[in-house]
Structure 1
Amino acid sequence: MSEFTAQNSGAISFREKLAGSQAFSQLFRDGMALVEETAAYLDGPGRRESKALPRSGALTYATESMRLTTRLMQLASWLLLHRAVKEGEMSLSQVNQEKTKVKLSPTFSADEETLALLPDTLADLIRRSLVLADQVRRLDATIHAPADAPQNTNNPVEHQLGLLKAAFEGR
């Protein structure tokens, strides 16, 4: 059943509901908590730890912390846009237009050898941000899939369960 058909038949739009689901709420809380934790670390202990690194380590720290901050700001933007759907402040179609400004494409990530040069806390924050980015990309692909994407018309409930599983796999 396409989103258009669901809206016209009085059925609930799966995509709208997914953006307002409990699973999205948890992802939102986790994502925003990671943003806050990262900011606190980079402004406090991370700043001190970076000064203790050798020159090459300090350069790696600066590069990776900038990538981390950029990644988290993009993810926070996406999460805030979709929270606006949940709160009824924006429609999914409005968010679909706005989200083009948010880059969710796979980002460059440091390999384990590079992460080993960094303080443990920063390396952990980077790894966790990459997991969050994967979860958001899967959810985005589910919510914003083209309405004419192939679907299991024999059992729409089974199809929606499959979409949910794909969106939140690995959580």
Structure 2
Amino acid sequence: MPSADTSPITVDFLSRFTASEQFDKVFQEGMGLVEETANYLDGPGRQDARLLDRHGAVAYATESMRLTTRLMQLASWLLLQRAIGAGEMTKDDVSKERRRITLADIGRGAPLNGSDQLPRALLDIVDRSLSLHQRILKFDAMLSVRSKADLGGVPSPISSQIDRIAAVFTARP
């Protein structure tokens, strides 16, 4: 009876992930949301903001700034993952760029006086950006487990399990 091979299987998880349909959908959604936001803020959003009183205008300006900051960070993360997956960056470049991206502090901020006046269109974009942010935080946590092992850090205790699961999904029948 032949013995089963128990040697660890190394899978380039990031390359597979960034080449996946799931990543492509998130990438397209993120870039589309950036474009939609810019179009709204430069067009209908200006008209909407003119209808607000002083408190509403301050809330609009604050929420718009939070939104654009969040989207800039999310777009930077998406572009970085794509570049890493394509092998376009060195490990040093990756390390420098990762430090520039802050995902933790870009969620929903404190409630604002006048936020009850914010236009529905702006609130819809904000809600979708927060949803995208939550998904990217999950992806980032998943990828950071992998990157610590790949960059010479202490591997996660679940790294071997992730490799085994990935191997099952990449095995050819």
TM-score, L = length of structure 2: 0.76
- Unmatched 5+ residue regions in structure 2? 1-6, 150-154, 168-173
Other-structure match for 1:63: 62
Post-superposition CA distance 1:8-58 (Å, at most 9, x none)? x7x332233223322111110000000000000000000110011111111
Contact 2:17/2:23, CA 8 A, preserved across alignment: yes
State the structure with more CA Rg: 2
Contact 1:31/1:76, CA 8 A, preserved across alignment: yes
Other-structure match for 1:144: 144
Cα distance change on mapping 1:90 and 1:99 into 2, 3 Å: same
Structure 2: how far apart are the matches of 1:135 and 1:63?
24
Other-structure match for 2:75: 76
Cα distance change on mapping 1:46 and 1:155 into 2, 3 Å: closer
- Unmatched 5+ residue regions in structure 1? 162-171
Note the 1:14-163 alignment, pairs <5 A.
14-90=13-89, 94-110=93-109, 115-145=115-145, 146-147=148-149, 148-151=155-158, 153=160, 156-158=163-165, 160=166
Q: Which moved more, 1:121-130 or 1:18-27?
A: 18-27
The letter of the residue matching 1:149 is S
Q: Secondary structure at the match of 1:144?
A: helix
Identity of counterpart residues, as a percentage?
A: 42
Structure 2: how far apart are the matches of 1:68 and 1:74?
10
Cα distance change on mapping 1:91 and 1:26 into 2, 3 Å: farther
The letter of the residue matching 2:142 is T
Contact 1:20/1:86, CA 8 A, preserved across alignment: yes
Contact 1:78/1:102, CA 8 A, preserved across alignment: yes
Structure 2: how far apart are the matches of 1:154 and 1:77?
29
Other-structure match for 1:168: none
Other-structure match for 1:165: none
Post-superposition CA distance 1:106-140 (Å, at most 9, x none)? 43415599654210000000011001111111111
Structure 2: how far apart are the matches of 1:44 and 1:120?
15
Question: RMSD in angstroms over aligned alpha carbons?
Answer: 2.7
Aligned residues: 153
